[in-house]
Amino acid sequence: PCLSNWPEDTDVLYIVSQFFVEEWRKFVRKPARCSPVSAVGNHALLCPHGGLMFTFASMTKEGSKLIALIWPSEWQMIQKLFVVDHVIKITRTEVGDANPSEAQYISEPKLCPECREGLLCQQQRDLREYTQATIYVHKVVDNKKVMKDSAPELNVSSSETEEDKEEAKPDGEKDPDFNQSNGGTKRQKISHQNYIAYQKQVIRRSMRHRKVRGEKALLVSATTLKELKIQIMHAFSVAPFDQNLSIDGKILSDDCATLGTLGVIPESVILLKADEPIADYAAMDDVM
């Protein structure tokens, strides 16, 4: 089921973490290699006060990557096969008789506004304070062929990792049925720490950028623009004083500012336009 297109044959949907679903799928596909799952672990979706961390609107957007919707019949089977710590459900109710198409959605437990606001602030902070993140630099040359770069590209690729390939489902494979039983094998509980790591991994996947010709991937931290220019110099053989950098139409000019304050977040694409090279590059020693 999908919240953006609510199914007509039910007024209640249950929620589990996407982490639980993927860990369970791994075990079903490869029981000899993956650890079994014993608990749903919905506490990871709740705040310390027991409130929900996602609004209905966020569940149809960025939050949809972290939660999985369950039919009532599936939920009954989950309760028989797994340890359920918290029940989370969304109920749809009609709003008046004048317009039956309008409906309101009520979550149990209810949203915790304070913790939701704190979560949003933390997410914004993580976008501006980061280490070892990937950004992309695209060199632009007006009406000229891009010169062959003398420096090799850093060993960073936007292709799928081995873990992504392992988790990718082959064509035609359907989701495992929750009615399958694993024979009472001893199961391993899902830890909150594993879920947090999974949440960050999902965010990285959703932000993943596909490189195009003329781009290079750089591994950076939220340091200053000057340090980024030095990295670009090694990657593109363009001196820092010849670099004109911009992101989303905004010129990046403050060399002392951090990348986060300039709006450069992980997976950003920075445009590089180089000035015409000069004959004497002795001045490059000043920036080193």
Task: Kindly state the tokens that stand for 250.
Answer: 């905004």
Contact status, residue 24 vs residue 36, Cβ threshold 8 Å: no
Domains of the chain: which residue ranges?
Answer: 12-122, 129-157+211-287
Q: Is 278 helix (H, G, I), strand (E, B) or coil?
A: coil
Burial zone of 75 (CB within 10 Å; 0-12 exposed, 13-18 middle, 19+ buried): buried
Crossing angle of the two packed helices 18-29 and 192-207, in degrees rounded to 10: 90
Distance from the Cα of residue 2 to its chain's centroid: 19
Q: Which CATH architecture has domain 129-157+211-287?
A: Roll (3.10)
Q: In the chain, helix, strand, coil percent, each to 5?
A: 30, 20, 45
Q: Do domains 12-122 and 129-157+211-287 have the same CATH topology?
A: no
Contact status, residue 14 vs residue 75, Cβ threshold 8 Å: yes
Please tell me the pTM assigned to this model. Answer: 0.53
Contact status, residue 262 vs residue 244, Cβ threshold 8 Å: no
Domain 12-122 has CATH 3.60.70: no
What is the rounded CA–CA span in Å between residue 114 and residue 51? 10
pLDDT at 229: 95
pLDDT at 65: 80
b/e 108-132 (16+ beta carbons within 10 angstroms → b): ebebbeebbeeeeeeeeeebbebee
DSSP 185-222: ---BPPPHHHHHHHHHHHHHHHH-----TTEEEEEE-S
User: Which residues does 98 contact at the CB level (< 8 Å), separation at least 6?
Assistant: none
pLDDT at 188: 42
Per-residue pLDDT of the chain (288 residues; tens, 9 = 90+): 676 678 888 889 999 999 999 999 999 999 999 999 999 989 988 999 899 988 888 887 766 788 888 999 999 999 999 999 999 999 988 776 655 567 788 899 999 999 889 888 888 888 888 888 899 999 987 644 343 333 344 434 444 444 444 444 444 444 444 444 444 444 444 444 554 555 555 555 545 566 667 789 998 888 899 999 999 999 999 999 999 999 999 999 999 999 988 989 888 999 999 987 555 555 555 555
What is the rounded CA–CA span in Å between residue 55 and residue 105? 10
What phi and psi, each to the nearest 5 degrees, are found at residue 5?
-135, 75
pLDDT at 15: 93
CA angle 222, 225, 226 (to 5 degrees): 120
What is the rounded CA–CA span in Å between residue 264 and residue 270? 8
Q: Is 146 helix (H, G, I), strand (E, B) or coil?
A: coil
